[in-house]
Amino acid sequence: MVDSCIFCRIASSTIPSHRIYEDAKVFAFLDKYPLAKGHILIIPKKHVANIDDLSEEDAQAIFAVLFKLTKAVHKGLKTDSTTIGVNNGPHSGQEISHLHLHIVPRFAGDGGGPIHAVMPIRPKVSENEMNEIAEKIRGNLSA
């Protein structure tokens, strides 16, 4: 736990929250400033800034909880849609330097749009650039 991290303090119950789920590795709670009613944040209990800092075991744990909670949101809130989001690093819009995944319940006519609608950056990328980019990423995959 990092004493200055609000999410670490929430996970340790130093700060109260509306807990939705907890196990040895993961904590999930309602967002205090929701984008929709039922907006959930899922965090690893271990302080990590972003996905790159997760161990494979912790990544599996957090995404298993995402899978479980998405189903619970659909059933519990009577919606068949959710927006799943992760701002991974400060330049992506991550405001708190503790990894967190968002589950935002979505309803017909709620006025929200696709995640692409909020991204002002839509560069034109040639086929050659796409090939180069794909190769750079594939060349850095590790087991």
* Residues recognised as catalytic: 100
Structural contact between residues 102 and 69, judged by C-beta atoms closer than 8 angstroms: no
Helix (H) or strand (E) holding 107: none
**Residue 8 backbone dihedrals phi, psi, to 5 degrees:** -60, -40
Structure tokens at 131: 């090939």
Distance, in Å, from the CA atom of 39 to the CA atom of 29, rounded to the nearest integer, reads 9
Structural contact between residues 20 and 30, judged by C-beta atoms closer than 8 angstroms: yes
Going by C-beta distance under 8 Å and a sequence separation of 6 or more, which residues neighbour residue 76? 38
Strand partners, 105: 82
